[in-house]
């Protein structure tokens, strides 16, 4: 176990906010976590790679971080196509994707290069290029933060929805995820329908999951800023879902508007609306809108959380005025 007081979180949030935690503890096993639980006082925040967080200021409590490692085949039945792979919550997400691709196991490749760690990816139900974490998760293992008991969540119990889960809602702060089990395929079924995956792959024959991973990496690198170079937390906003009526009336005014039919309505890309409002590549103080993907807010260097929030609020107001749609941050503000 590693423990620090008045610890700088600068390296633990990709937005690059220089804030401090009163206490910071990193544990390496479920046993260490269980030992730690009775010592916790006041507010507790569990973080992963800090790639979806915006700290508003110092955190006057304990920040916990899992360093539970390990990626292994948990179950493989002879003659069956599915394989269960179990990963520790503290594994870097993309390392798990790379491991699966190297072992010829399909299912994770479209989620290549998403920043963050395994535990948080199951809380946030990360998604990209037509795949969400919930599509590949078979089970989530967690520890009850009150009683220290282990609980196994079947995927249906996790209440997964777009960037949502029970761990962000009803059970917020109640459980710490320790392992996630994924259901992967020995004979991968490629998902190439989203956006420009096919055009990036070109007319290659016999496309493999390694090719898909590389194409996704190329697309992401071209569109999304590298947090090591420019602080950011990926998509700052969620894509709103509007009613069919609202969509049809908007489509009359904006025939070029991209959209996706989803359960309960039509999803409109917030990035497109922000772009239409003229915000792409613009800034307010030291908080900016990425010049290649307007859904991403960036720290242009030394931005305070107030500057980022001011930009967020201004964008929300402009989108509401132009399109009559409320957009909401995807980033968790602490
Ligand atoms: N668009 C614009 N201008 C922009 C941004 C987007 O016109 O500045 C248009 C695009 O041309 C496209 C549509 O909007 O027609 C959608 O854009 P894109 O495919 O880039 O995806 P997105 O909806 O903006 C979502 C996820 C991303 C994920 C991509 C790809 C959310 C909040 N974001 O973005 O996730 O990588 O799809 O699947 O759902 C993240 O969550 O951090 C993240 C990066």
- Taking only the tens place, the pLDDT of each residue in 189-200 is 999 988 889 889
Q: Pick from 281, 295, 297, 331 the residue to mutate for probing ligand 1's pocket: most ligand atoms within 8 Å of its CB.
A: 295
For Cα atoms 232, 238, 242, give the angle at the middle one, nearest 5 degrees. 160
Tokens of 194: 């989203």
**CA 291 to the chain's CA centroid:** 21
Instruction: Find out whether the beta carbon of 113 lies less than 6 Å from any atom of ligand 1.
Output: no
Q: Which two structure tokens, joined as six digits, stand for 31? A: 């046993």
Helix %, strand %, coil % of the chain (to 5): 30, 30, 40
Q: What is the pLDDT of residue 186?
A: 96
**Catalytic residue flag (residue 330):** yes
Distance CA 330, CA 63 (A): 21
Pocket test for ligand 1, best of 235, 277, 331 (most atoms within 8 A of CB): 235
Chain-centroid distance, C-alpha 252: 33
pLDDT at 79: 85
Strands 137-144 and 175-185: antiparallel
Q: What are phi and psi of 292, to 5 degrees?
A: -115, -10
Q: Is 294 in the pocket of ligand 1 (CB under 6 A)?
A: yes
**Active-site annotation holds for 163:** yes
Crossing angle of helices 93-102 and 209-223, rounded to 10°: 150
32 is a catalytic site residue: no
H or E stretch at 175: strand 175-185
Alpha-carbon gap, residue 177 to 195, rounded angstroms = 32
Contact yes or no for 99/109 (Cβ under 8 A)? no
Active site residue: 109, 132, 141, 330, which one? Answer: 330
pLDDT at 203: 82
pLDDT at 175: 98
Does the Cβ of 240 fall within 6 Å of ligand 1? no
Rounded to whole angstroms, the Cα distance separating 163 from 63 reads 22
- Determine the distance separating the centroid of ligand 1 and the alpha carbon of 241, expressed in angstroms: 14
Q: Residue 114 Cα, ligand 1 centroid: separation in angstroms?
A: 13
Q: Which entry of 23, 86, 163, 220 is annotated as an active-site residue?
A: 163
Q: Measure Cα distances from 88 to 96, 269, 289 in Å.
A: 10, 33, 34
pLDDT tens for residues 299-322? 999 999 999 999 999 999 999 999
What does DSSP assign to residue 110? G
pLDDT averaged over consecutive 10-residue blocks of the chain (334 residues)? 97 96 98 97 96 96 98 90 97 98 98 97 96 98 97 98 96 98 97 89 90 97 94 97 97 96 94 98 98 98 95 98 97 95
């Amino acid at each position: 176990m590693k423990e620090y007081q008045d610890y700088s979180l600068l390296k633990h949030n990709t937005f690059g906010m220089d804030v401090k935690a009163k206490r910071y503890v990193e544990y390496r096993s479920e046993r260490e976590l269980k030992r730690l639980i009775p010592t916790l006082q006041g507010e507790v925040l569990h973080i992963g790679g800090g790639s979806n967080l915006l700290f508003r200021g110092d955190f006057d409590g304990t920040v916990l971080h899992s360093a539970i490692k390990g990626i292994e085949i948990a179950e493989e039945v002879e003659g069956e196509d599915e394989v269960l792979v179990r990963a520790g919550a503290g594994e870097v997400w993309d390392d798990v994707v790379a491991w699966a691709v190297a072992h010829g196991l399909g299912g994770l490749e479209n989620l290549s290069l998403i920043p963050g760690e395994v535990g948080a990816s199951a809380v946030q139900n990360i998604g990209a290029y037509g795949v969400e974490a919930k599509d590949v998760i078979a089970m989530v293992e967690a520890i009850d933060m009150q009683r220290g008991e282990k609980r196994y969540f079947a995927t249906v119990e996790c209440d997964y929805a777009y960037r949502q889960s029970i761990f962000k809602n009803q059970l917020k702060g109640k459980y710490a995820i320790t392992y996630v089990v994924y259901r992967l395929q020995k004979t991968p079924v490629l998902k190439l329908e989203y956006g420009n995956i096919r055009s990036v792959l070109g007319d290659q024959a016999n496309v493999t999951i390694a090719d898909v991973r590389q194409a996704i990496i190329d697309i992401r690198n071209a569109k999304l800023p590298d947090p090591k170079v420019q602080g950011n937390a990926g998509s700052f906003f969620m894509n709103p879902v509007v009613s069919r009526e609202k969509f049809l009336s908007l489509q009359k005014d904006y025939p070029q508007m991209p959209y996706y039919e989803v359960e309960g309505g039509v999803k409109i890309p917030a990035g497109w609306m922000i772009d239409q409002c003229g915000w792409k590549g613009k800034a307010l103080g030291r908080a900016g809108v990425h010049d290649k993907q307007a859904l991403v807010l960036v720290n242009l260097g030394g931005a305070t959380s107030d500057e980022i929030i001011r930009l967020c609020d201004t964008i929300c107001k402009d989108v509401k005025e132009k399109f009559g749609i409320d957009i909401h941050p995807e980033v968790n503000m602490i």
